[in-house]
Amino acid sequence: MQIQVEEGRARVILQGDLSVADAEPLRDVLIEAVAAADLVELDLEAVTSIDLATLQLFGSAHRTANDGGKKLAFSNCRNPVLIQARKASGFILKTGCRPESTKSCLWVGGME
């Protein structure tokens, strides 16, 4: 994991296998990124596997960012590993996780 912060934007480059074993360091990086910038971009291009714990951390980071008036965005989210993990876990929704969040919900269009 690598974080680059520049002018109100934090880019978090994730790579390799992301699993529950990586949850604590990933959580720490996400907390740092959200605290440091108004826009946090997670680059998923080099991710080779992903589990439910990681998807849950993404959801938590998204909610934290939104609650703080910030934005969490994804790049390279067409990674087949991510698509498969989202399908397997049920993290593809037709409505937002909050009634007012349909446009910003991570799981409804936020990764499209």
Residue 64 domain-assigned (yes or no): yes
pLDDT at residue 108, rounded to an integer: 62
pLDDT at 1 over 90: no
Give the structural domain span for 54. 2-101
Distance (Å, rounded) from C-alpha 72 to C-alpha 63? 9
Residue 73 domain-assigned (yes or no): yes
Nearest alpha-carbon partner for 68 in 105, 99, 37 = 37
pLDDT at 79 over 80: yes
Residue 112 domain-assigned (yes or no): no
List the CATH number of the domain containing 94.
3.30.750.24
Residue 26 domain-assigned (yes or no): yes
Q: What is the pLDDT of residues 32-75, one digit of tens each?
A: 999 999 999 999 999 999 999 998 899 899 889 989 999 988 88
Distance (Å, rounded) from C-alpha 32 to C-alpha 72? 13
Domains in the chain: how many in total? 1
Which tokens go with 1?
A: 């994991």
pLDDT at residue 13, rounded to an integer: 96
User: What mean pLDDT, rounded, does the chain reach?
Assistant: 84
